[in-house]
Structure 1
């Protein structure tokens, strides 16, 4: 059936194209510059709200005036909501059922189910077959991952009689509750490991490794007490700005992220804007500190692991002899440092703050002895390996549970599981 379901179905089941089972409603965005369109009581669903299987509320709401002034539509309860344009479509299709009337943004579609198919059953079908559906629905050549409306409408869906749909849903609710509980527990463990990793780094770079070492007030709010033998210095005396430019643009392109720090673009598995030429981009060398000027407030900074080039909109700084590049990288990647540089950033809106060199050079840094910096970096690396090993194993077990979840749904919605009527 359109390359999605290949198993034979029970005799009482039907096969119908999605276009004959549902009516599709699109969405839009009211003018964000008009405050009278926003902050109302009509939920406005966008991809960021699609984290649960049922939608009761959304991050943003619009007014009746906003609804009437834009391309968005009011969708009654119990529609199947699907993300049709988002980077998340590289690996999954977010789907949910709205339990209250909602409006949609332009990256969403609502499927209003007819009399022969239950909304929750259709949502489960999409969940169970999302890998196969992605291969069929994905739009080729799109700048942002998108789903093809015609392919979606032409997809054939396995449709059992309504009483059997209810039995399947009851069975899945019971079985998936167990799987989802396990996934949730493992996800909590991942979050705890991430917190432990973050705390470990912050404690090491701001307090050192010897817990019994005498402390003294640093006089700097974000630092608090530091080991008594450490120095404190403004960054203007620790770094020099580098503004050398590439003649050819043929050097390794580096990217700067608040998640991964500085990494070669070739290692990024994402679609990124590429300029026609990178001649004139800024050179940076191994150990240089690179700061994404626009996203510094989020922590987008780190030291370069290799020689390369970065956007001319970024700022590059070379650490002096009093700082090890690896120590610099560890310190700038902790959240409290991002909060500190925000104080020196310029911009009207918090999401548009920019950290320029004159602001960066106002920040204060702890300066441990070089040998102690080396010990701190070695400790962090050793502990990170332990934590990352456990995190990787946990992520692998979550992936396996999710595969089991999808397989269970797929088998149930194609009649491959004998479900007792009393289930």
Structure 2
């Protein structure tokens, strides 16, 4: 058993001549960061023409191991071994390191090496950059000491882990499907309730309730969140459907002079103007919130007349009819960002229910969401335990703490 630095076992961020050989109109696999996931969740369905990704992107090929370099994706252990790329070549986000295994190391074994708990902790300690934008340097990978069994033993370990992690991944997929079912059930119940209100009262466009709308500011800000006594500006991630996360903000420079008219206050109705296609148009009412948080220019603050409750509008915004309007407005947008205009928001169909019926709907939604949230929490905890089990198994097998040959009937002999 020897210990060898990774630079002698794999090329780190090498050139990819296979990419250069493609014609400008040839298509290849494209991997944005949101598609890079370990196990069966890797999404290689996106395709791009070579001319679209000829500069400004990371290049790789079948058999490469991709390691996310930026926080928090690195710490999440989302490294992947890529196979089945269109034309055998891919391009993707620049936030990926590429490892190309040499003849002394099995590609699957290398993937498991960079999925161990010890590797992730060492890499986290070596990150550089400001908070929220820290990256793992190339030299950390090149100088990484790898405990290197014989190639036959590497394959035996990889065979064992392929089988065992597949079992865990299957359970994790089952948990995700349950969560998806919970989400769908909650959405169906809300849509049914809103349809009944629409039939009983009819609908009117949101513009009929509007008193005004404003957007915030887009100053230069740190990536780190503001401390309680500092000024910060909200990020679009502060909003999810009917949920507000004030900690999703960016700290403003100490010499910045804020205009307090853009300060977010309790009771504000906020709507995201720009977000991912799935989340653009997310709407929530601000609960009790600390001072010194400014509205972003990517978020609308909406003022309504007394006939309609902002909580009711936020609930309606989660319904099918509003979601369809936002989806239509986002048609053709990139996976990472979509935009809606306030003209589309003003067209949202709102059931013309009286305040008593609105409050009844709001209370119904809150009770149903509380029950669903409790179920989600239990499922997410089980999923977290599965992820911990997966990483612990990989770490013990790769580092020799666990002898896979003693696992009778598992892993098999190397091919």
Same fold (TM over 0.5): yes
Q: Relative to 1, partners in 2 of residues 1:411 and 1:291: Cα closer, same or farther, differing over 3 Å?
A: same
**Counterpart of 1:10?**
none
Counterpart contact for 2:269–2:303, Cα < 8 Å: yes
1:393-404 alignment to 2 at 5 Å?
Answer: 393-404=378-389
**Counterpart of 1:303?**
285
CA displacement 1:50-90 (0-9 Å, x = unmatched)? 23548794412333x667x5476864432222222465235
Question: Could you tell me how far apart the structure 2 residues matched to 1:354 and 1:286 are?
Answer: 24
Counterpart contact for 2:241–2:314, Cα < 8 Å: no
Note if 1:126 corresponds to 2:145.
Answer: no
Note if 1:279 corresponds to 2:268.
Answer: no
**Counterpart of 2:224?**
none
* TM superposition shift of 1:404: 0.6
Q: Secondary structure of the residue that 1:92 maps to in structure 2?
A: coil
**Counterpart of 1:317?**
302
Note if 1:190 corresponds to 2:170.
Answer: no
**Counterpart of 1:227?**
199
Question: Could you tell me how far apart the structure 2 residues matched to 1:406 and 1:253 are?
Answer: 37
CA displacement 1:229-268 (0-9 Å, x = unmatched)? x14333233121155999xx98885555453556353x23
Note if 1:172 corresponds to 2:161.
Answer: yes
Question: Could you tell me how far apart the structure 1 residues matched to 2:297 and 2:57 are?
Answer: 39
**Counterpart of 2:270?**
290
Note if 1:42 corresponds to 2:28.
Answer: yes
Moved more, 393-402 or 271-280: 271-280
Question: Could you tell me how far apart the structure 2 residues matched to 1:326 and 1:299 are?
Answer: 15
Moved more, 161-170 or 75-84: 75-84
**Counterpart of 1:51?**
37
Counterpart contact for 2:307–2:355, Cα < 8 Å: yes
1:182-221 alignment to 2 at 5 Å?
Answer: 182-208=171-197
Q: Where does the alignment leave 5 or more consecutive residues of structure 2 unmatched?
A: 17-22, 218-228
Moved more, 285-294 or 386-395: 285-294
* TM superposition shift of 1:386: 1.1
Equivalent residues, number: 376
* TM superposition shift of 1:410: 0.7
Question: Could you tell me how far apart the structure 2 residues matched to 1:191 and 1:415 are?
Answer: 38
**TM-score between both structures, scaled by the size of structure 2:** 0.77
Note if 1:81 corresponds to 2:66.
Answer: yes
Counterpart contact for 2:70–2:95, Cα < 8 Å: yes
Q: Secondary structure of the residue that 2:270 maps to in structure 1?
A: strand
Q: Which has the larger radius of gyration?
A: 1
Q: Relative to 1, partners in 2 of residues 1:324 and 1:154: Cα closer, same or farther, differing over 3 Å?
A: same
Question: Could you tell me how far apart the structure 1 residues matched to 2:57 and 2:330 are?
Answer: 35
Moved more, 307-316 or 17-26: 307-316
Q: Secondary structure of the residue that 2:188 maps to in structure 1?
A: helix
Moved more, 70-79 or 385-394: 70-79
**Counterpart of 1:219?**
none
Q: Relative to 1, partners in 2 of residues 1:288 and 1:259: Cα closer, same or farther, differing over 3 Å?
A: closer
Note if 1:333 corresponds to 2:318.
Answer: yes
* TM superposition shift of 1:342: 6.5
Question: Could you tell me how far apart the structure 1 residues matched to 2:269 and 2:111 are?
Answer: 47
* TM superposition shift of 1:139: 2.5
Q: Secondary structure of the residue that 1:127 maps to in structure 2?
A: coil
* TM superposition shift of 1:381: 1.1
1:239-388 alignment to 2 at 5 Å?
Answer: 239-243=210-214, 254-257=234-237, 259-261=240-242, 263-265=244-246, 267-268=247-248, 272=250, 274=252, 276-279=256-259, 282-295=262-275, 298-306=280-288, 309-312=294-297, 314-340=299-325, 353-356=339-342, 358-388=343-373
Question: Could you tell me how far apart the structure 1 residues matched to 2:177 and 2:261 are?
Answer: 42
* TM superposition shift of 1:408: 0.6
**Counterpart of 2:20?**
none
CA displacement 1:206-234 (0-9 Å, x = unmatched)? 324xxxxxxxxxxxxxxxxx333x14333
Counterpart contact for 1:75–1:103, Cα < 8 Å: yes
**Counterpart of 1:21?**
9
The CA RMSD over aligned residues, in Å, is: 3.6
**TM-score between both structures, scaled by the size of structure 1:** 0.76
Counterpart contact for 2:215–2:295, Cα < 8 Å: no
Question: Could you tell me how far apart the structure 2 residues matched to 1:244 and 1:184 are?
Answer: 40
Q: Secondary structure of the residue that 1:420 maps to in structure 2?
A: helix
Note if 1:238 corresponds to 2:238.
Answer: no
Q: Secondary structure of the residue that 1:416 maps to in structure 2?
A: coil
Counterpart contact for 2:124–2:136, Cα < 8 Å: no
* TM superposition shift of 1:369: 2.3
Q: Relative to 1, partners in 2 of residues 1:359 and 1:111: Cα closer, same or farther, differing over 3 Å?
A: closer
Counterpart contact for 1:27–1:103, Cα < 8 Å: no
Q: Secondary structure of the residue that 2:28 maps to in structure 1?
A: strand
Q: Secondary structure of the residue that 1:305 maps to in structure 2?
A: coil
